Amino acid sequence: MKDRDGVIVIGAGGHAKVAAAALEARGTEIIGFFDKNPALKGQLILGREIRLQEEVEPVLADYEAILAIGENRVRQHLADEMKPAGWHSAIHPTAWVHESARIGKGVLICAGAIVQPDAEIGDHAIINTGAIVEHDCKVGAFAHLAPSSCLGGDVQVEEGCFLGLGAKVIPGTRLGAWSIVGAGAAVIRNVASGAKVGGVPARPL
DSSP letters for 152-193: -TT-EE-TT-EE-TT-EE-TT-EE-TT-EE-TT-EE-S-B-T
Residue 78: enclosing H or E segment and its boundaries?
helix 72-81
Q: Which fold has domain 7-88?
A: Rossmann fold (3.40.50)
pTM of the model: 0.95
Domain ranges of the chain: 7-88, 89-194
The three-class DSSP label of residue 98 is coil
CB 85 within 8 A of CB 64: yes
pLDDT in tens, 153-204: 999 999 999 999 999 999 999 999 999 999 999 999 999 999 999 999 999 9
Q: Catalytic one among 15, 88, 124, 135?
A: 135
Confidence band (pLDDT; 50, 70, 90) for 5? confident
Active site residue 92: no
pLDDT in tens, 144-155: 999 999 999 999
User: What percent of the chain shows pLDDT beyond 90?
Assistant: 94
Residue 43 contacts by C-beta under 8 Å, 6 or more apart in sequence?
12, 49, 50
What CATH code is assigned to 89-194? 2.160.10.10
Evaluate whether 7-88 and 89-194 have a shared fold: no
